[in-house]
Structure 1
Amino acid sequence: MQYYSYGGGGPGQFGGGGASDIRLLPGDYANFTSLKSRIIVAAGAGGPDTGDLGGPAGSLEGFNSNNNHGNGGTQTSGGRGYVNGSFGKGGGNPSKLDASGNGAGGSGYFGGGSSKNSHDYGGGGGSSFISGYPGCVAITEDSTENSIKFRTGEFTSIHYSGLKFEKSLIIDGNHQMPSPNGTK
């Protein structure tokens, strides 16, 4: 994970934001067995660059950068960009750390893509995931880094461990977080 921000934000001139998660298995952030044990993921935002804001962290889908140069991650794929996002990692280019670089993708369940323009503009935001949340798509236990499969039917949103959250809420980076007492 050299050059990635902690939490898998993409590397680049302007790195993407890292994700936060709760997982069932220990290991280095990028260890695939540990990554696929995540039961809740709060996405990171895409990195900005000159003239373009990075995409905010998403709920079910990450947001594209302000000028749509980096695409947000979804429940089943990384966002498209100069370097695509992937499972748990934002897209980025570690060889472009100078002025020729761009905004990298934010991490998440699936990370956002880096800016499609190799010299400028922002990256896409990552997607979030909560086991049991409507619209989320869990991966299967037999998924590998090179072959990710998804659960189907009535268990589509539930992590393969069977653990799930009830009465959960995902608030994306485009909305205000409510205070604990319900006021704004």
Structure 2
Amino acid sequence: MQSGGPNWELPLGRRDAIQASLSASNNNLPPPNSTIQNLIKLFRRQGLNVVDLVSLSGAHTIGMARCSAFKQRLYNQDGNDEPDSTLEITYSNGLKTVCPKTGGDNKISPLDFASPSTFDNTYFKLIMFGKGLLTSDQVLLAGNVEETMLLVKAYAEDYALFFDQFARSMVKMGNINPLTGYQGEVRKNCRMPN
């Protein structure tokens, strides 16, 4: 990876769908306001366990989120016009400058503001201080599931442990529901058309 992070070997010959499906993606990807119980359920539905859930969530060490994905945490988390109590106040106030109460839904913020273009374990360190951007990030620690809490702490303390498990979980995720027979295609050119 140009941004750092682990390497892993991908099995060759996986058949890919010929067309993407927005509805299938939306049905299988957890929404950003997911509870810990919903995250666990959605990952289990794909054959992934809690270790996979936490390690793969670490991909949020890179990337951005639109304001619409986290606005409720800033202004109305529980339907009481109050911010999310698990969100660190200084971080919350900074996010409010990017994401106003009305409008601005397409403004973006980094998922990991401390090292947004480096694949590292800072994402987990931020969660430890109440600075996970999405609800689905912070509930890994604040959701009161001991296994996810312990994994967040372990990955925050040991980047090598996180890198190793992330690589394993990526391979496992890559083997979800493979197409067989004449379904899909094995791509010889993986570049997107212009």
TM-score (normalizing by structure 1): 0.26
- Relative contact order (alpha carbons < 8 A, sep ≥ 6): 1 or 2 greater? 2
TM-score (normalizing by structure 2): 0.26
| Higher helix residue share | 2
Q: Compare CA radii of gyration and give the structure with the larger one.
A: 2
